[in-house]
Amino acid sequence: MRIRIVVPITGLDQQAIGQRLEYLREIADPRTTVDAVQVRVGPPAIESASDSVLAGPDILRLVQEAEADGCDAAIIWCGGDPALDAARELVDIPVVGPGESMLALASILGRKPCRITPDIPVLEMRKDLDRTISVIKSMVEDRVERGMGDTFVLGCLALWGLGKRLREAIGVPILDGAEASLKMAELAVEMGLRHSKIAYPMRESQRPDSP
């Protein structure tokens, strides 16, 4: 199967995107190929509602291109799932949101899912990874102690690859959006699932062959 990653921000260079692809390819099923495209117009990082709106048009264009290119599924690389519902209206392939994927998995792993996002700018989260991990661990331990969560999702895709490391260190379920969305996309394709067009209807004017 072929899965397309749609990077909705302009603040990542090709080396950074390549690092993310390398990780995804390591954890993907051997039969899965993963590639990535990046918006031309969008914010450096998505940290607000206005950032999500700014990224939206190019996300939609790239999701449609993914389907036209023969991809089996697309993943929008952001924990806030920008333009997710709109993208699902425009194509027939599964479009997966990391935030939604993490919460879906968390809902079967515990009773109090809790979203954790360190108060660090998105593009700085990986500059001092040890510090970022320390902040997340403290936040998780605090929420556990106060009874505010028993299962945790990492709210930003800058935290890719940290789910397994953190859950092994702390001993509670902690999910990162990269692993959750990739496995959800693979499962959807493997099972032959598509989004309901009752939930995500495509108007005639939205069809690629519409005059």
pTM: 0.92
The pLDDT tens digits of the residues spanning 163-181 come to 999 999 999 999 999 999 9
Q: Are 21 and 5 in contact (CB under 8 A)?
A: yes
Structure confidence at residue 24 (pLDDT): 98
What is the reported pLDDT for 42? 95
- CATH topology of 2-97+179-201 equal to that of 102-177? yes
The hierarchical CATH code for the domain 102-177 is 3.40.50.1860
Type and span of the H or E element at 167: helix 162-170
% the chain with pLDDT above 70: 96
Cβ proximity of 90 and 64 under 8 Å? yes
Burial 51-63 (b: 16+ CB within 10 A, else e): bbebbbebbbbbb
Residue 210 has pLDDT above 60, yes or no: no
Distance of alpha carbon 99 from alpha carbon 83, whole angstroms:
12
| DSSP conformation class of 205 | G
Transcribe 104-138 into DSSP letters.
HHHHHH-SSEEEE--SS-GGGTTTTHHHHHHHHHH
The pLDDT score that the predictor gives to residue 203 is 72
pLDDT, one tens digit per residue, over 98-114 is 999 999 999 999 999 99
User: What are the pLDDT digits (tens) for 107-154?
Assistant: 999 999 999 999 999 999 999 999 999 999 999 999 999 999 999 999
CATH of domain 2-97+179-201: 3.40.50.12500
Q: Where are the domains of the chain?
A: 2-97+179-201, 102-177
What pLDDT does 205 receive? 60
